[in-house]
Chain A
Amino acid sequence: DQQVKQNSPSLSVQEGRISILNCDYTNSMFDYFLWYKKYPAEGPTFLISISSIKDKNEDGRFTVFLNKSAKHLSLHIVPSQPGDSAVYFCAAIYSGAGSYQLTFGKGTKLSVIP
């Protein structure tokens, strides 16, 4: 049973517009959430994280929103750039496990159209 779900396999956005990537989770024990960007045959690149005690975290063009009651988070990229085209993974951590083992969603492929 998937504990972290990214229900949109792909998303196309015009350059300069906002990209919104969504993620849902089922395990209420998760207390940290991270977003990664990944290219084929490469390791993931960390983008931004959020603790479950917060509802928003912002870093440059990237903002993550967390709705704990809905078990939903989203990544906003504004403005979107062609270089943002990649697969984006949502991941969650349960700190009670004592390690940073990540539970990943299946990813959303973002295409930013020039």
Chain B
Amino acid sequence: DGGITQSPKYLFRKEGQNVTLSCEQNLNHDAMYWYRQDPGQGLRLIYYSQIVNDFQKGDIAEGYSVSREKKESFPLTVTSAQKNPTAFYLCASSPRMSNPPTGNTIYFGEGSWLTVV
């Protein structure tokens, strides 16, 4: 079955460490996205990529970095510069914009919990 796989589900980071969250999709989608959710908050866009080797900053990109070397992979690195990294991180993918969005357009992974210890 096609879908998005995020790993790990739970991750603990010591202060000052960089950590990388994995996101893989086998849907042949061109676009991929990273969102962050804080308790009681909505999802906020960190980075997105519409095509391989290209990505754009979202609303809260500071302290994060991404790469898009392969179509199916969009890893997110949470750097030590991110002051409040403890959050739930969601990866999503979609085709390039062509049709109205429906339930079969935007796919989300199951998320990764990052906690700073």
| Interface pair A9/B96, CB less than 8 Å apart | no
Within 8 A of B (CB), among A44-89: 44, 46-47, 49, 51, 89
- Looking at B13-21, B43-51, B66-74, B76-84, the stretch in contact with chain A turns out to be B43-51
Q: For residue B35, which residues in chain A have a CB less than 8 angstroms away from its CB? A: 102, 104
| Interface pair A106/B106, CB less than 8 Å apart | no
Query: A45 to chain B: closest CB distance in Å?
Result: 8
Interface residue count for B (Cβ, 8 Å)? 29
| Interface pair A101/B45, CB less than 8 Å apart | yes
| Interface pair B111/A43, CB less than 8 Å apart | yes
| Interface pair B90/A43, CB less than 8 Å apart | yes
Residue-wise, chain A 32-43 has the 8 Å CB interface mask toward B (1 for contact) of 101000000111
Residue of A nearest to B107 (CB): A43
**Known A41-B111, A43-B90; contact A102-B50, beta-carbon cutoff 8 A:** no
Which residue of A49, A95, A104 is within 8 Å of B97 (Cβ)?
Answer: A95
Query: A42 to chain B: closest CB distance in Å?
Result: 6
Please list the residues of chain B having a beta carbon within 8 angstroms of any beta carbon in chain A.
31, 33, 35, 40-45, 48, 50, 58, 88, 90, 92, 94, 96-97, 100-103, 105-106, 108-111, 113
